[in-house]
C-alpha cells in the first residue's frame, strides 16, 4: 500500500493554492492522474519522486517511509525506489542507449535485466546510438527502459506520450501495457487523454480544486457512455492507422 497524506503550497495563475492529497493506493496497478492544468498533477509526482518536498504530512510506500514531516524524515531521490519518466525524456545526451540503462542500474550488476529491457522495447539494434540519433518514439522507449532498469517500486509517468505523433503514441500505449503485464510495477500516469486513460488505467485519481479523489475503478469516474465513446474513438484511430 502507498499511503500519501501531504499538503503543499502552489503558486498558480489563480494565486497561491494549497494542494491537499490524502490517498491509500494499492500496489501493482496502473493508476491514472487526471485533472485540469495547474491543479497539481505533476507536483504530486515530483513529491513522490523526491524532486519537491511537501510542506507537511507523510509518504509511505509499503514499510518504507519516504517523507515524514513530524519526524524529519526525507529520503533523497536516489534512496527512493521510484522511476520517473518526464515529458522531455531527460536522457543523458552523451551516453548511448545502453549506457543510459547501465547508469540507471548502477551498482546492481543487472546485465541480464538490461539485455531483456533492450529486447522487449525493441531497442537492441539501437543500443549503441546516442539519444540525438533516435526518433522521439525511440527516445521515449529508452526513457521507459531506463526507469525500469532502476527496479522501482513505483513508476511515475508525467504525460510521457503527449509529444508523440499518433502512430507512435498508439505503439507506446501497447508497449506500456506489455511492460506492465511483464513487470507488474505500480504505475502512476498523468494524462489528459481520456482514450489513453480508458485503455491503460484500471484506477484513477481525479484532482479537482487541488484535492485528490480516488476511484478504484476508472469507469466510476466517468459515465459509461463517455468511456464507451472514448474506446470506440480509439478503435477507429487504430483502424485508420
CB atoms within 10 A of CB 166: 11
The DSSP secondary structure of 158-174, one letter per residue, reads: ESTTTTS-HHHHHHHHH
Mean pLDDT value of segment 61-78: 94
pLDDT, tens digit (0-9, with 9 covering 90-100), for 105-133: 875 668 888 999 999 888 999 999 999 99
Mean pLDDT value of segment 147-167: 85
pLDDT number for residue 70:
96
Please check the confidence at residue 184 and state whether its pLDDT lies above 90.
no
Please check the confidence at residue 195 and state whether its pLDDT lies above 90.
no
Residue 129 CB-half CA count within 13 A: 13
CB atoms within 10 A of CB 199: 18
Measured between alpha carbons, how far is residue 143 from residues 54, 123, 129, 188, 215 in Å? 26, 11, 14, 15, 28
Average pLDDT over all residues of the chain: 87
The DSSP secondary structure of 77-133, one letter per residue, reads: GGGS-EEEE-TT----TTS-HHHHHHHHTTTS--HHHHHHHHHHTT-GGGTTS-GGG
Q: Are strands 186-190 and 154-158 parallel, antiparallel or unpaired?
A: parallel
List of E strands, 164-223: 186-190, 203-208, 211-215
**What is the residue whose three cell numbers read 503485464?**
181
- Confirm if 107 and 123 have CB atoms less than 8 A apart: no
Percent of the chain with pLDDT over 70: 91
Residue 6 phi, psi (nearest 5): -140, 155
**What is the residue whose three cell numbers read 527512493?**
80
* Secondary structure class of 1 (helix, strand, coil): coil
Please check the confidence at residue 241 and state whether its pLDDT lies above 60.
no
d(CA 50, CA 80): 8
- Confirm if 4 and 23 have CB atoms less than 8 A apart: yes
Please check the confidence at residue 101 and state whether its pLDDT lies above 60.
yes
- Confirm if 193 and 221 have CB atoms less than 8 A apart: no
The listed range with the strongest mean pLDDT (39-53, 166-180, 224-238) is 39-53
Residue 226 — very low, low, confident or very high, per pLDDT cuts 50/70/90?
low
All domains in the chain, ordered by first residue:
26-51+76-81+152-240 (3.40.50.300)
Amino acid at each position: 500500500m502507498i499511503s500519501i497524506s501531504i499538503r503543499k503550497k502552489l503558486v498558480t495563475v489563480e494565486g497561491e493554492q494549497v494542494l491537499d492529497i490524502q490517498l491509500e493506493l494499492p500496489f501493482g496497478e496502473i493508476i491514472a492522474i487526471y485533472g485540469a492544468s495547474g491543479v497539481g498533477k505533476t507536483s504530486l509526482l515530483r513529491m513522490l519522486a523526491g524532486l519537491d518536498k511537501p510542506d507537511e504530512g507523510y509518504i509511505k510506500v509499503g514499510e518504507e517511509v519516504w517523507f515524514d514531516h513530524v519526524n524529519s524524515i526525507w529520503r533523497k531521490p536516489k534512496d527512493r525506489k521510484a522511476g520517473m519518466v518526464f515529458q522531455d525524456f531527460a536522457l543523458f545526451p552523451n551516453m548511448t542507449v545502453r549506457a543510459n540503462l547501465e547508469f540507471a542500474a548502477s551498482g546492481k550488476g543487472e546485465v541480464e535485466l538490461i539485455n531483456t529491457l533492450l529486447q522487449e522495447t525493441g531497442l537492441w539494434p539501437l543500443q549503441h546510438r546516442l539519444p540525438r540519433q533516435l526518433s522521439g518514439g525511440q527516445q521515449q522507449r529508452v526513457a521507459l527502459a531506463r526507469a525500469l532498469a532502476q527496479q522501482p517500486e513505483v513508476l511515475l509517468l508525467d504525460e510521457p506520450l503527449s509529444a508523440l505523433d499518433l502512430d507512435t503514441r498508439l505503439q507506446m500505449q501497447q508497449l506500456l501495457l506489455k511492460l506492465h503485464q511483464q513487470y507488474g510495477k505500480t504505475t502512476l500516469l498523468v494524462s489528459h487523454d481520456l482514450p489513453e486513460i480508458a485503455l491503460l488505467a484500471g484506477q484513477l485519481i481525479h484532482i479537482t480544486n487541488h484535492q485528490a479523489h480516488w476511484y478504484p475503478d476508472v469507469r466510476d469516474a466517468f459515465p459509461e457512455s463517455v468511456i464507451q465513446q472514448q474506446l470506440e474513438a480509439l478503435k477507429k484511430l487504430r483502424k485508420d492507422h
